[in-house]
Structure 1
Amino acid sequence: MSSSTRKPPPSRLGRGLSSLIPDPPPSSDPAALRSLPVEALEPGPFQPRGGMDKSSLQELADSIREHGILQPILARPKPGSPGSYQIVGGERRWRAAQLAQLHEVPVVLRDLGDREAMAAGLVENLQRQDLNAMEEADGYRRLLDEFGLTQEGLGQAVGKSRSHVANTLRLLGLPTEVRDLVRNGVLSAGHARTLVGASDPARIAAQIVARGLSVRQAEALAAAQGRPRPGAQDRAPRDPETAALERDLTERLGLRVAVKHDGKGGEVVIRYRDLDQLDGLIRLLSAS
């Protein structure tokens, strides 16, 4: 599609990513695929990925050394720099190719503007499913904000369900410290999803990491969290040891706990607000 027939960006908003990215050249076009020196390429400015895991990058390099690059790198001419090219999709393959000591890499060149390059790069990475959950969420947010897509339309573009897109975007509402745990691989996306809507996500996340809880256990812990009912203050304990025990149990269970002891026996009272909290408590105790 030539620039003279290309529609202006505003008229394409909300129409899906196929209207944002020009059609690729036909496979029969000899100019569609070429080999370029690795030094002629550089990372593009619209890469959604943060850091790249060194071990997985080395694994890819080993595969490339044995089998070659099976999927060409997508690039565009670098504006104002003849003979140089910016990677739109495939930076990980480019870096692994250098580790494999390849001098040239297969490249498909397309004349993309900034908006088109960003859309193509984001979609290419999202479709490959090798971003962490926060990088994926950031990519979805950028596509929604830049191009006015619906969550359903975005899901169709990247091969995901609308509910998956929606649940991933909800991770952006978690506190910074929790999002950093996901970015660094300390907390999985499954664990993080259990914290959405929790009363104190950062505190629960710290408990999940410290105790090495499974996703099911994390879900039970998060469900058991809740604020005490207004005015439902328990009578002050008679001694510091009982108070300390109540605080410890309340912290562990996420529910207000009262310990009543008369010197010989007593009872432990766990207060829950609704059936969801009761169900979470039962699952938590069953998993312990």
Structure 2
Amino acid sequence: MKPSQFAKGFQARPDTTSSEKRTALDRLNAIDNLVNNDSNVQPIAPASRTEQTLHAVSDDLANHESAEYRAWRVGHGYNPGQVIELELKAIKPSPFNPRHFYLKASIAELAVNLAKQGQQQAIHVIPDYASPGSYFVSDGGRRVRALKEANKETVKAIVIDLPIGIQSYKLGYDLNVQRDSQTVFDNAVVWRRFLDEKHFQSQKELAEHLGLDESTVAVALSLAKLPETIMQEMVARPDRFGSNMAYQVGRYHSARGVDATLRLINKILSDDLSTRQVADIVKGRTAPQETPKPAGRQRYAQRMEIKLDGVAVGDLKSYGDDRLELRLRGLAKDKRDEILRQIEQILKPN
């Protein structure tokens, strides 16, 4: 896709919906609410709709589908909204995925849940017409990673009609914003790439096409200068590191470097500092306590991943000569109690 086409896609996105022109998110919601009684794999937890509404939605989607999608759909005997099983090895990330950061702990926790309960919600994929048999993830990248972590071979999916590019990016972005899972750090990395690849000529143009204030885009882009090691520390605590706090941390990093910034992040968490307090530290009005706190940002010397039945449930880390840290999650109660009894037995005085 040429840069001008990419930018044009932003501009063409309507602010309001109509029966003639749906946004990607509207089309996805419409697809999700189709009930296909003839498919072997039924849609998961479908919303209740009258037959009249279902027919209207189905007709609307059919009237607006692309020629490529229609050819694929007819060739595969696929009905819009149908949930099918695809091999995980056929699924690949989209180059226009709005997410950049995926927390390992979150993926591991979801993997445990999927191993126990199975996949409860279908992902959405787009056929790669240039590589028949493969699909781009439009929505559900976290579930795909967790299914692989759980050693699954297939994924339940709905195949949707969107071009890979701005529409698929906006769909994923809108869904993530609704779930509160889109972070300023994801925006920082992805928007910086959009500019570097000349999809947009300036942050002002990017802001206009995104429908955001230029200051919002500017703050996100300023964070793109941070090393990923620092961003990863803040991504893990989105409740503490919103745009304003992250911006102050970014300013501190520009002046003090990586190690001092990691210590500041640790102090923000341990002392529950406010954005104003951090701003004062950045401006030099107050100084962060540099007194040796053993907690600091000590790095582990060794890490061992722990798996139960082939599924990652946590890890065991060693620090220095005298500290061990065991973290497990998603355990059944009987397994948890058994592990506790064994640890108590090991630590029991002779």
Structure 1 length normalisation: TM-score? Answer: 0.57
Query: In the alignment, which residue of structure 2 is the partner of 1:117?
Result: 168
Q: 1:191-230 to 2 correspondence within 5 Å?
A: 191-195=245-249, 201-203=254-256, 206-210=259-263, 212-214=266-268, 216=273, 219-223=276-280, 226=283
**Distance of 1:73 and 1:122 partners within structure 2:** 15
Task: Name the CA shift for 1:219/1:42 in 2 (closer, same or farther; >3 Å).
Answer: same
Give the letter aligned to residue 122 of structure 1.
Y
TM-superposed CA distance for 1:75, in Å, is 0.3
Alignment counterpart, residue 66 of structure 1, candidates 93, 103, 116: 116
Query: In the alignment, which residue of structure 2 is the partner of 1:149?
Result: 210
**Distance of 2:116 and 2:138 partners within structure 1:** 25
Query: In the alignment, which residue of structure 2 is the partner of 1:173?
Result: 222
Give the letter aligned to residue 213 of structure 1.
K
TM-superposed CA distance for 1:90, in Å, is 0.9
8 Å CA contact 1:73–1:89 kept in 2: the answer is yes
Q: Residues 111-145 of structure 1, C-alpha deviation per residue, up to 9 Å, x if partnerless?
A: 21123222223333444434553113445776972
**Distance of 1:61 and 1:199 partners within structure 2:** 37
**Distance of 2:16 and 2:258 partners within structure 1:** 36
Give the letter aligned to residue 23 of structure 1.
R
Q: Residues 86-132 of structure 1, C-alpha deviation per residue, up to 9 Å, x if partnerless?
A: 11111221121122233322111112112322222333344443455
Say whether residues 1:136 and 2:197 are aligned partners. Answer: no
Query: In the alignment, which residue of structure 2 is the partner of 1:27?
Result: 34
**% identical aligned pairs:** 21
TM-superposed CA distance for 1:225, in Å, is 5.0
Q: 1:228-247 to 2 correspondence within 5 Å?
A: none
Give the letter aligned to residue 210 of structure 1.
R
Task: Name the CA shift for 1:284/1:86 in 2 (closer, same or farther; >3 Å).
Answer: closer
Alignment counterpart, residue 89 of structure 1, candidates 132, 139, 153: 139
TM-superposed CA distance for 1:73, in Å, is 0.7
Alignment counterpart, residue 233 of structure 2, candidates 182, 185, 188: 185
**Distance of 1:103 and 1:200 partners within structure 2:** 43
Task: Name the CA shift for 1:43/1:181 in 2 (closer, same or farther; >3 Å).
Answer: closer
8 Å CA contact 1:17–1:119 kept in 2: the answer is no
Query: In the alignment, which residue of structure 1 is the partner of 2:92?
Result: 42
8 Å CA contact 1:77–1:86 kept in 2: the answer is yes
Structure 2 residues without counterparts, runs of 5 or longer: 1-7, 40-78, 195-199, 290-350
Count the aligned residue pairs: 211
Q: Residues 227-278 of structure 1, C-alpha deviation per residue, up to 9 Å, x if partnerless?
A: xxxxxxxxxxxxxxxxxxxxxxxxxxx2xxxxxxxxxxxxxxxxxxxxxxxx
SS in 2 for 1:222: helix
Q: 1:5-24 to 2 correspondence within 5 Å?
A: 13=12, 15-16=14-15, 19-21=22-24, 23-24=27-28
Structure 1 residues without counterparts, runs of 5 or longer: 1-8, 153-164, 227-253, 255-279
Q: Residues 181-214 of structure 1, C-alpha deviation per residue, up to 9 Å, x if partnerless?
A: 4422168635423346x58743287545335322
SS in 1 for 2:27: coil
Query: In the alignment, which residue of structure 1 is the partner of 2:64?
Result: none
Q: Residues 4-25 of structure 1, C-alpha deviation per residue, up to 9 Å, x if partnerless?
A: xxxxx56953633965427132
**Distance of 1:194 and 1:13 partners within structure 2:** 35
8 Å CA contact 1:15–1:149 kept in 2: the answer is no
Task: Name the CA shift for 1:148/1:17 in 2 (closer, same or farther; >3 Å).
Answer: farther
TM-superposed CA distance for 1:216, in Å, is 2.2
**Distance of 1:130 and 1:184 partners within structure 2:** 15
**Distance of 1:17 and 1:81 partners within structure 2:** 34
SS in 1 for 2:233: coil
Alignment counterpart, residue 98 of structure 1, candidates 148, 157, 160: 148
**Distance of 1:207 and 1:86 partners within structure 2:** 40
